[in-house]
Amino acid sequence: MSVFPKISLRPEVENYLKEGFMNKEIVTALGKQEAERKFETLLKHLSHPPSFTTVRVNTHLASVQHVKNLLLDELQKQFNGLSVPILQHPDLQDVLLIPVIGPRVGGCVEDETEEVGRGRKNIKKQQCEAIVGAQCGNAVLRGAHVYAPGIVSASKFMKAGDVISVYSDIKGKCKKGAKEFDGTKVFLGNGISELSRKEIFSGLPELKYVIRGMGIRMTEPVYLSPSFDNVLPRYLFLQNLPSALVTHVLNPQPGEKILDLCAAPGGKTTHIAALMHDQGEVIALDKIFNKVEKIKQNALLLGLNSIRAFCFDGTKAVKLDMVEDTEGDPPFLPESFDRILLDAPCSGMGQRPNMACTWSLKEVASYQPLQRKLFTAAVQLLKPEGVLVYSTCTITLAENEEQVAWALTKFPCLQLQPQEPQIGGEGMRGAGLSCEQLKQLQRFDPSAVPLPDTDMDSLREARREDMLRLANKDSIGFFIAKFVKCKST
């Protein structure tokens, strides 16, 4: 059930995406009308959250069953006694799935209709309102509370303890500190204000420490998802399903030397180390110092000692002179790594929920050249018979299938490989890849299934296999390709 408008894009960007999703190969296969319908459905689904919250268990420190039991207790507290099921993914044994309940109101932008869903509590909109930024709003739809920096506007007389209706300013038009806002806004649910309007917006030096804290504690969100703010931090890592799949596709083995070329914030890095039983060497690179520090913090928190993180530009990671490297710091000699993960910087057009993207076409298109530089470095650093996995969290043809076609032409030493587990759909037509090659890719298409309308009644009646099928299909937009490097001749 679509309750939000489709993702808001600049016309040039929407046209660019449409050209990709209605290319000649797709239109020939599906017909123009069906291709256009699928594209419009995709834009609607991008503004809604996936139907499951996915967490990865840190199996280095605890068993999946132990963590699942702890999490069941936590959800009982968060959901006031509601018994929400937790599913262990059959193909990704360290992944737990928690169904998202909602949407819990009817209507869309500024629609005052508040119909009661099957067995759902009606969410009554309040006179006292708070407006949050689009990114903060996206996080709220996935279970987050509202922290003070995310609040853009609040009603004139808002006090701590008030029941507040929270809205997202999806187009970024609300002025900071405004007392009311009549522009385009999307209802996210109700919460309890932890601060007064004065405390949020006064900006006085003695209040600076306050305005960094919790602003609104969400009590009746439109989509009910668990909050993972400091919940079992040593045992759980909040991760989208395809992101957790990538490391299983890489299939790291104990004792190997593995490179995570664009590693921050370290979810996949720590997953690699855990799957290797912390035996071997995992090198993590990222250009931004603070993000590298976050990787180190995560490794320490999760008890993983095989990770070494460096602040370094992955495009310059190949050591050009062949002098033997004794320190083990970047740059590295060619053919140094058994496996390489290139989870490339991308336009992020597959992230959900995302109600608005303000990027220009130039910004969206800027990632393909960078990805190719990183890919070139990865091929040079990979040992013969080594495995390279390329992934993005975007939906564009240019950053996904076109990159695969380019790589296979540019590097004859690479062979495309089938992936295990195979959970996503096959690749998208339009880049000149064969049917067999498309089947070896994994593309997660958010428009693959209708938007679910989930309440407790439907959860009780749902079959486990149907829920798992939905979790696999209704995820973020994502892409994975796996290559092996042939032996030197």
Residues catalogued as catalytic: 393
Give 86's contacts (C-beta < 8 A, 6+ positions apart): 68, 71, 72, 75, 96, 97, 98
Dist. CA 264–CA 410, nearest whole Å: 28
Contact yes or no for 7/356 (Cβ under 8 A):
yes
Instruction: Name the burial class of residue 105, with classes exposed (0-12), middle (13-18) and buried (19+) by CB atoms within 10 angstroms of its CB.
Output: buried
Q: What is the Cα–Cα distance from 321 to 291, expressed in whole angstroms?
A: 29
Q: Is 325 helix (H, G, I), strand (E, B) or coil?
A: coil
CB 267 within 8 A of CB 247: no
Strand pairing class (8-9; 356-357): parallel
458: DSSP letter? H
Distance CA 86, CA 89 (A): 10
**Checking DSSP bridges between strand 87-88 and strand 95-99, what pairing results, if any?**
antiparallel
3-state secondary structure at position 444:
strand
From the number of C-beta atoms within 10 Å of its C-beta (0-12, 13-18, 19+), residue 420 rates as exposed
- Say how far apart CA 228 and CA 232 lie, in whole Å: 8
d(CA 440, CA 483): 10
Element of type H or E holding 424: none
Residue type, 202: S
Strand segments, DSSP code E, in 6-125 are: 8-9, 52-57, 87-88, 95-99
In sequence order, what are the residues at sequence separation of 6 or more whose Cβ sits closer than 8 angstroms to the Cβ of residue 54? 95, 96, 97, 98, 238, 239, 240, 241, 244, 471, 475
Q: Which of 351, 364, 430 has its CA nearest to residue 397? A: 430
Element (H, E) at 385: strand 382-392
